[in-house]
Amino acid sequence: MTVELCDVARRTLVELRLSTAEDGDLGNTGPVQAALDLTLPGPGRTSQVGGRLAVWLGPGWWLLDDRPDESGGLEAGLVHPLRATGPRTSAVDVSAGFVVLELTGPSAAEVLAHGCSIDLHRRSFGPGSSARTMLAKAQVVLARPDDGPTYRIWVRTSFSRYLVEWLLDAAVEYR
């Protein structure tokens, strides 16, 4: 049983926040979803089209992960659609603040289980699942974007070296 850790370099990461009413209603998200060509996922979920991934972080709050775009970027493409949703909305490029890692292989869940308290079994954390959690004392966003044995991890840049070393150590028995 093997496991592989890789740095998913050159990703555009945007935190998207849409204003919510007091009753939690997001209002008109249609223009934003049309601009993204992606449905914004609900709690604990991801949605994906091609290489673009949206991860639910909280009410009215998502992390968008995409390949770099030379035409102005993901953030710039959201300016006009955000204006249509209301005054308290934002799209902020946070690419420099995070490192994106992928842990792949049949033993990936076991490696993560060494330092993560959530149940990563397929029945609880299946394809399209996501969570904000602690992994080896580092706050991360963890997702299982598809049906494969791959987990994507977003960690703050300042904790990335520590987390990579921890994951490599935790994976020793599976290499």
Q: Are 91 and 78 in contact (CB under 8 A)?
A: yes
Domain 97-174: CATH superfamily is: Probable tRNA modification gtpase trme; domain 1 (3.30.1360.120)
How many Å apart are CA 38 and CA 45, to the nearest integer?
A: 13
Architecture of domain 11-95: 2-Layer Sandwich (3.30)
Residue closest to 3 by CA, chosen among 86, 113, 97: 113
Q: Which residue, chain included where needed, has tokens 């091609």? A: 50
Structure-block tokens of residue 60: 């009215």
pLDDT of res. 18: 85
Every domain of the chain and the residues it spans: 11-95, 97-174
Strands, sheet with 138-144, edge to edge from the N-terminal-most edge strand:
4-7, 98-104, 150-156, 138-144, 129-135
Q: What's the predicted TM-score (pTM) here? A: 0.89
Residue 144, beta-bridge partner list: 129
Could you report the average pLDDT of every consecutive run of 10 residues in the chain (175 residues)?
Answer: 89 86 61 86 94 92 85 66 69 92 96 96 94 97 94 97 97 87
